[in-house]
Structure 1
Amino acid sequence: MGTTFHGPSPWPHITRAISTRGARHAAIAYLGQDAPDLLPLRAGDVLVVNASKAAIRAHATSPAALAYYVNKGVRVLSSPTLHAKVIATSRRAVVGSANASENSAFADDAVIITDDPEVIASVRTFIDRIDEITEVDEVFIDNATREWEIGRAVPIPGVSGRIRDPEAEFLPAPVTRMFVKHAVDYEPSPTEQHVLDEHRPRQRTTAGPAAKYQLESLRLDRTSGVRRGDVVVFVSIDDGWIYPPAVVVSDPMKIPRSGGSVLYFLRIRTDLPPLPLTDAEKALTDLGHPGSRLRTDHFVRSPSLRTDLLALWDL
């Protein structure tokens, strides 16, 4: 067989790869309620999961899946620090990012499947050395069921409670606060640049897929009504462009020794182009907004104007 790579939907390959004789040892952090269909284990197998209170309350690990495996004779253990997703059989090892859940079945996960004896042995050793282990038995499952019932599906570090549409997440739903502001080119002062460097997340390398979203900064001379979650549409009158909407993703950050100026971070989509300002004004006029005031800084109070502004970019 050798070594093969499988993604972005690796579970059919994983399920086939582990359908072998002999005991299987798996360390899969999170189990959805459909885990038994993806990860068919049997009596004599070992399964280490993260069934901590946080994982159960977040609905990342299902007590029903735990009960299924225990009733099948699988030895199930819980480690609250587990985040790995690895499996070892007598003939193969699986190493990757896939949890045993519906989310993972539809997400862009990937695994390596190999028959390299050294990798198989290393995976077994890794699983055997996981610490902070708790045996999952009926009492454990009863407690986990109570935690599940008082919890709810929420994100926890490293895992999403639900598959979400990133397109829908770019803008708040609904958009109730929007500003039109004029774009002004300026060179950050050393103090301002220091604030930016302190707060801006570290940039990834340019290798890999092109980023669809990026952060920009907005400098205002004083704290204004702008707040996190607001949508800002920038207009450059001198250049004759209106720029696609940006979303405020930070609280105001004071710039020392600036007379009260503040910085905000904005999230933008790199795939949305600027539009000619005159074309935008004509389109809005045709839609019933002859007074769109795109050449004046203002808070957009009209819900219909907000909707039609976003529609300029099919948002």
Structure 2
Amino acid sequence: MGTTFHGPNPWPHITRAIRTRGPRLAAIAYLGLDAPDLLPLRANDVLIVNASKAAVRAHATSPAVLAHYLHKDVRVLSSPTLHAKVIATNRRAVIGSANASVNSTFADDAVIITDDPEILAQARKFINGIDEITEVDQIFIDNATREWAIGRAVPIPGVSGRVHDPETDFLPSSLTRIFVKHAVDYKPNPTEQHLIHKQQPQQSTTAGPVAKYQLQSLRLDKPSSITRGDIVIVVSADNEWIYPPAVVASEPLRIPRSGGAVLYFLRIRTDLHPISLTDSEKILTALGHPGSRLRTDHYVRSPILRTALLGLWNL
């Protein structure tokens, strides 16, 4: 085949070029409603998109399309800084300007399609090296659907306006509700195992970047005022470790036949690590918070203490 140039309407050539056997890697920033026809992916493929709040609110990336690929068993990831359009199959690389959307089919876009082994290897390396990524699961899609309904209020990163800082996008804009909770040592019953399996993204052995954000379950023995969007800082049951702040990603799920226990799903950052509870108390005391009460479950009322707690992980 060699190397060929296609424009100003490259999508028929792209669609034809990627119909190959074996897993495919695609990093396409924005997905419109026409994406499944333009970019026909299947199980074991990896798709990285820009499904940030800004992109979804601007209707540049469709939550319905994310759900479509997820139901096809495609591993879907989101990177808030992605603007590239690169596809790598086992035989070809596609590099260009075309998003998978109807707007792209009317725009003057262009791509290079090549079977050059060196370029193909570089394309794969580029896609595997994309960082600041989040695994797209059903909870992610539910949140994205709400953002889509808000409308076109936020500029698209890399197209207009400034790029959002992914480090701060992890936390909600309002940090007034932070809770300290102790982990419960328990073995999930079959009902809980079903809930956890249903909400967690399916593990994939396909090559691709390592997700920076993952889901984790938290069981509480009785209902709580905690709700979606709150911050929870979990302390180990033996009071030895304090775990990094996690964002509540679900409403409480009542566990049948558990005596009133509820299950939450938390979104965590995998690059943040637990800290010794004793060391944390010493740091907070030095900052003027000798009564941080990290050994008891409570709602953190003090704005200054909330800031100090997040500062333990430089957040």
- Give the structure-2-normalised TM-score: 0.54
Shift of 1:224: 0.9
Aligned Cα root-mean-square deviation (Å): 4.1
Matched, 1:200 2:191: no
Shift of 1:181: 1.1
For 1:194 and 1:247, locate their aligned partners in 2 and report how far apart those are by CA, in whole Å: 22
* Structure of greater Rg: 1
TM-superposed CA distance for 1:244, in Å, is 0.7
User: Where in structure 1 are there 5+ consecutive unaligned residues?
Assistant: 5-16, 29-48, 62-84, 87-92, 105-110, 117-150
Which AA in structure 2 matches 1:261? A
Q: Does the 8 Å CA contact 2:183/2:218 hold for their aligned counterparts?
A: no
Kept in 1, the 8 Å contact 2:185–2:237? The answer is no
Say which SS state the counterpart of residue 25 (structure 1) adopts.
coil
CA distance in 1, matches of 2:296, 2:196: 28
Superposition deviation, residue 304 in structure 1: 0.5
Q: Tell me what 2:220 maps to.
A: 220
Q: Distance in 2 between matches of 1:50 and 1:172?
A: 26
Cα distance between partner residues in 1 of 2:203 and 2:182: 27
Residue in 1 aligned with 2:238?
238
Partner of 1:276: 276
Task: Tell me the equivalent position of 2:89.
Answer: none
- 2 CA distance for matches of 1:244 and 1:310? 8
What CA distance in whole angstroms lies between the structure 1 residues aligned with 2:191 and 2:259?
12
| 2:19 counterpart of 1:25 | no
Q: How far is 1:286 from its partner?
A: 1.0
- 2:173 is aligned with 1:169: no
Q: Which residue pairs with 2:190 in the alignment?
A: 190
Alignment match, 1:305: 305
Q: TM-score, normalised by structure 1?
A: 0.54
Which AA in structure 1 matches 2:278?
T
Structure 2: give runs of 5+ residues left out of the alignment. Answer: 13-30, 35-54, 62-84, 87-92, 105-110, 117-150
Q: After superposition, where does 1:96-175 map in structure 2 within 5 Å? A: 98-99=98-99, 113-114=113-114, 152-153=152-153, 163-175=163-175
Is the 8 Å Cα contact of residues 60 and 161 (structure 1) preserved in structure 2? Answer: no
The aligned residue for residue 266 of structure 2 is 266
- Residue 257 of structure 1 deviates from its aligned partner by 1.8
Q: 1:293 to 1:205 in 2, by over 3 A?
A: same
Corresponding residue of 1:71: none
Match of 2:123 in 1: none
Distance 2:206 2:193 in 1: 22
Question: Does the CA-based 8 Å contact 1:237-1:295 persist in structure 2?
Answer: no
CA 1:287/1:166 → structure 2, altered by over 3 Å: closer, same or farther? same
Amino acid at match of 2:173: A
Identical columns (%): 70
CA distance in 2, matches of 1:97, 1:192: 45
